[in-house]
Amino acid sequence: MIEGYIDAAICQAQERARILKAKISYSSQINEFVALRQICDKYIDGLIDDLGYLLTDSVILRQDLLAERIRLFRRLRADLTNLETTAVAALTRSHADDAALSRIVADIHREIRCPLAPPTVTCLSRAYFSISPAFRLLEVPLAESDFLLHLPDLYHEIAHPLITEVNNPAIEPYQLEYSRFLGAALVHFAEERRTNLRSTGPRRYFGDIIDILEYAWTMGWANEIFCDLFAIYTLGPAYAWAHFHLAAMYDADPYEVQLLGPLSHPPDHARMEAMLIGLDLIGFTDDAAAVRQKWQALLNATGATQGQIFRRACPLELLERAAIHALEGVRRINCRIVTLQTTGKVHDLLNAAWERFWSVPNEYHAWERGAVTNLKDQAVPT
C-alpha cells in the first residue's frame, strides 16, 4: 500500500534534482563559481541515478526490503536538501562579496602554498564560519566580507580538507601526522583506563567519562585542534586574537566539557592553550605572552573557573603533542610556516589589523573600512 507513495515521492525528488540543475545552469557566471557549479552538476547527477536505483533495481524492490528502501530514500532526500540549502543556494544567490572573499581565499592558498585547490566562499552562513569539503564550499556570515578581525578563521576552515580529502599523495604526510596524534590520544586514554581500574573511586562512572572523552577527541576535537594549529602556523598571532574575539562575544563557559550532547569542538580554553603552545614553538613568544595576558583578563572578568573535569578532558600533554604533530604535518606538505620575518598581502593585513585594533582602537574602524576596500580591489581574479 505504501509502495505507491514511495514511488511517487522518489519521482518527485528526481524532478526536484533536475529543477535544481536547471537553476544552477542559469546561475552566476562569476569565474570563482565555475568549480562549484561543476561539483553540483556531478553531485546532482549522482543523486538522480541513486534515486533511479530505488525505482528500478529488482533487489531493492523486494517486499522484505521495503524498510531498507525507505531508509535509503530518506538519506538521499536529506542529501538533496543539504545540496539545495548550501551549494545551490550559494550559486543562485551569489554576490560580489562572495567573489571577493573567494579571491582572497585563493590569495591565501598561494601565500601559504596550500597543496589543495581553494574553496568557493559564500556569505550565506546562518551561524559562523564552516566548510563543506564535499562541495569545496566555505560559508561565512553575511557581513563578514566588510570586516577583518574574524577573517583569520578562513585559515582554520581551509585546513579541514587537508584531513578529509582522500587519495591525494600531496597531503598524505599531513594526514599521517594527524593519524599519529590520534594514536597518541588512544594510548593516553588507554592509560587513563588502567589508572582508573587501580583507583578506589567510582570506577564505573569515570570509566564512562573516559570513553566519552576518547570518542570526543577521535571524532571531532583532534580535527578542530589541528585546524586551529594550522591557522597559527600559517598566519600567526592574528588567529589566536580572532579566537579571543569570538570567545569574548559569546556567552559560553570556556572550560565547559559537555559530556552530553554535541562534542564536535573542544572547550575554548583548551583551544587557546594549544594555540599558545603553537605560537611558542614557532618563535612568537612575545605575542603568545600578550595573548595569554589578555585571555586571562577575560577569564577573570567573566568569572570563568576551571571545573574538575576540564584537565582530565584536555590534558596539556595531549595539547602539546597535537602542536608538535601539526607543526610537523605542515612542514611535510611544504606549506609556509610563519616567522617573525614573514610577509604577504593577506598575512600582513590580518596581523596588522589586530595590532592596530589594540594600539589605536579609536581609529581602528575608519582604518578598517579603507583596508577592506583595498583588500577586495587587490584580490587577484581566478
SS3 category, 131: strand
Q: What is the pLDDT of residue 28?
A: 62
SS3 category, 138: strand
- Sheet containing 130-132: give its strands across: 120-122, 137-139, 130-132
The answer to whether 111 and 346 have CB atoms below 8 angstroms apart is yes
Could you list the pLDDT tens digit for every one of the 382 residues in the chain? 798 999 999 999 999 999 999 998 866 667 788 889 999 999 999 999 999 999 999 999 999 999 999 999 999 999 999 999 999 999 998 888 999 999 999 999 999 999 999 999 999 998 889 999 999 999 999 999 999 999 999 999 999 999 999 999 999 999 999 999 999 999 999 999 898 888 766 777 778 889 999 999 999 999 999 999 999 999 999 999 999 999 999 888 999 998 776 677 899 999 999 999 999 999 999 999 999 999 999 999 999 999 889 999 999 999 999 999 999 999 999 999 999 999 999 999 999 999 999 999 999 999 999 999 999 887 766 5
The answer to whether 92 and 23 have CB atoms below 8 angstroms apart is yes
Q: What is the pLDDT of residue 262?
A: 65
Q: What is the pLDDT of residue 207?
A: 83
Which helix (H) or strand (E) segment holds residue 328: the answer is: helix 316-332
The answer to whether 64 and 151 have CB atoms below 8 angstroms apart is no
Closest C-alpha to 241, from 275, 274, 286, 193:
275
pTM, entire model: 0.92
**CA separation for the pair 363, 372 (Å, rounded):** 15
Q: Which three cell numbers stand for residue 312?
A: 582530565
Which helix (H) or strand (E) segment holds residue 360: the answer is: none
The answer to whether 128 and 144 have CB atoms below 8 angstroms apart is no
The answer to whether 20 and 44 have CB atoms below 8 angstroms apart is yes
R_g (Cα) of the chain, nearest Å? 23
Q: Which three cell numbers stand for residue 54?
A: 530505488
